[in-house]
Copies of this chain bind each other. A is one copy, B any other.
C-alpha cells in the first residue's frame, strides 16, 4: 500500500495503537501539540536524541524495517544507560520517501514498539514528514535518574580500572560482512549484533546504584573513540590492554578466517552499545561482583594514567600510542 492512499493522518492513526507501554504518570500521548507527563519528584531528567539516516547509518537493503525500528530506539536507550538512568518517554520524527510502502512503516513501528515494551519506554508522539530521497528516523528520549547517581564522562581519575560490560567487535564484524559482501556460514549472530544491539540499561543501573564508578559511556563510536571522550572530558590518559579486550569466539573466528585485525574492529569501529566505564582499583572487585551477581558482565581492559592520549599494550607487551579515532561523520 502506498502512503498517499492513507495520508499523513491515516498513517498516524495506524501507528498510534501500542505506543503507550506504561500509563502511570503519562498525561497525554500521541495526538496533541506536545506529549505531557510527570517526572518523579527528586529525580533529574535526562534527554538524548539520535538520528539514523539512510545510506549513512543503514542501508535499506541490508536491514529489515523491524530491526531498523528496534535499533533506532535502542541507540537512544543506550545513551540513557550510559548515564546510569532509566529510559521513560520517547518521541519519533520520521522523514519518509514517497516510494516507501505502508507495510515497511508498519514493520518499522512494530520494531520500535517491541523494544519500547522490553525497556518500559512509551512512544508518546513525534513528527511525520515527506522526504525527497532518504529515510530519516530521529528519536528523542527522556529518562530519569537520581542526581547523585548519574555517571558522566568527566570523572575518570589516574589509577582507575577501565572496564567493559560486554564483548566488543561483533557489531563491527557484522558491518564488515555487509560492506565486504563476504560469505561466512555463521554470520547470523554477527549481523544481529550490528542490526539489533541490546542496550545495557540493567548494567548501567547497577553501576549507578553502587556509586563507585567514576565515568561511564556507551560504546557507539568504538572503544578507542569512546575512551578518548572519557579521557578528554576527564583530563587524563589511558592504557588499553589489547589482550584483555573481550570478544566472542565467533568474532575471533571471523577475524581469523578473513585475516582481519580484531583489535581494529573492536577499538575503532564501534556500535557495540555495551558500557565502558572507569572505577577506582580498590572498588573494581565490588563492582564486578555486583554486576555478575545480577547476570551482567565486568571485563577490566586497561588503566587510566596521567597525561593525555591513549596507549595500546599489545599481546607481546609492547606499548604504542593509538589515535582515539572512531567514526567521524565529516572526515
Distance between A153 CB and nearest chain B CB, rounded to angstroms: 5
Question: A79 near B: Cβ within 8 Å?
Answer: yes
With an 8 A cutoff between CB atoms, is A35 at the interface? yes
Minimal beta-carbon separation of A68 from chain B (angstroms): 15
Q: Are B96 and A330 in contact (CB under 8 A)?
A: yes
So how many copies of this chain end up in the complex?
A: 2
Q: What's the nearest-Cβ distance from chain B to residue A151, in Å? A: 9
Of A81-89, A107-115, A166-174, A183-191, the one touching chain B: A81-89
B-contact bits for A125-155, CB 8 A (1 contact / 0 none): 1111111111010101011010100101110
Q: CA of A266 to CA of B49 in the docked complex: distance in angstroms?
A: 34
Query: Is the pair A47, B53 in contact by a Cβ cutoff of 8 Å?
Result: no
> Which of B129, B132, B153 is close to A51, meaning CB atoms less than 8 Å apart?
B129
Answer whether A9 and B328 are a contact pair too, CB < 8 Å, given A38-B45, A47-B124, A133-B134. Answer: yes
How many A residues touch B, CB cutoff 8 Å? 75
Pick the residue among B34, B37, B53, B145 that contacts A129 (CB under 8 A): B53
**A3-B330, A27-B150, A83-B34 given; A136·B51 CB < 8 A:** yes
One of A54-62, A237-245, A280-288, A307-315 at the interface: A54-62
Question: A143 contacts B34, CB within 8 Å?
Answer: yes
Beyond A130-B56, A131-B56, A329-B129, whether A48 also contacts B36 by CB under 8 A is no
Q: Decide if A218 is an interface residue (CB 8 Å cutoff).
A: yes
Q: Quick check: is A331 within 8 A (CB to CB) of the other chain?
A: yes
The reply on A91 being an interface residue by CB < 8 A is yes
Residue of B nearest to A82 (CB): B33
Q: A27-B150, A31-B153, A136-B95 are in contact. Are A49 and B127 (CB under 8 A)?
A: yes
- Give per-residue flags for A41-83: 1 if the beta carbon is below 8 A from chain B beta carbons, else 0: 1001111111101111100000000000000000000111011
Residue A264 lies at the interface, judged by CB distance under 8 Å to chain B: no
Answer whether residue A7 sits at the interface, using C-beta atoms and an 8 A cutoff: yes
- A331 lies within 8 A of B8 (CB): yes
Distance between A66 CB and nearest chain B CB, rounded to angstroms:
21
| Residue A4 lies at the interface, judged by CB distance under 8 Å to chain B | yes
Pick the contact of A331: B4, B57, B129, B233 (CB < 8 A). B4
Give Cα distance in the complex from A261 to B9, angstroms.
Answer: 26
Distance between Cα atoms of A218 and B218 in the complex (Å): 38
Contact status B33-A37, CB under 8 Å: no
Instruction: Mark interface residues in A1-22 (1 if CB within 8 Å of B CB, else 0).
Output: 0011011110100000000000
Query: Residues 23-41 of chain A: 1 if any B CB is under 8 Å from the residue's CB, otherwise 0?
Result: 0000110011111111101
Known pairs A27-B44, A39-B45 / 18 extra A-B pairs, C-beta < 8 Å: A7-B331, A32-B152, A33-B48, A33-B217, A34-B79, A34-B83, A35-B47, A38-B44, A45-B142, A49-B91, A51-B127, A56-B129, A56-B131, A96-B329, A129-B329, A132-B133, A136-B136, A138-B138
11 A/B residue pairs, CB under 8 Å, sorted by A: A7-B328, A31-B153, A33-B83, A34-B82, A34-B85, A34-B143, A36-B150, A45-B45, A51-B93, A56-B129, A130-B330
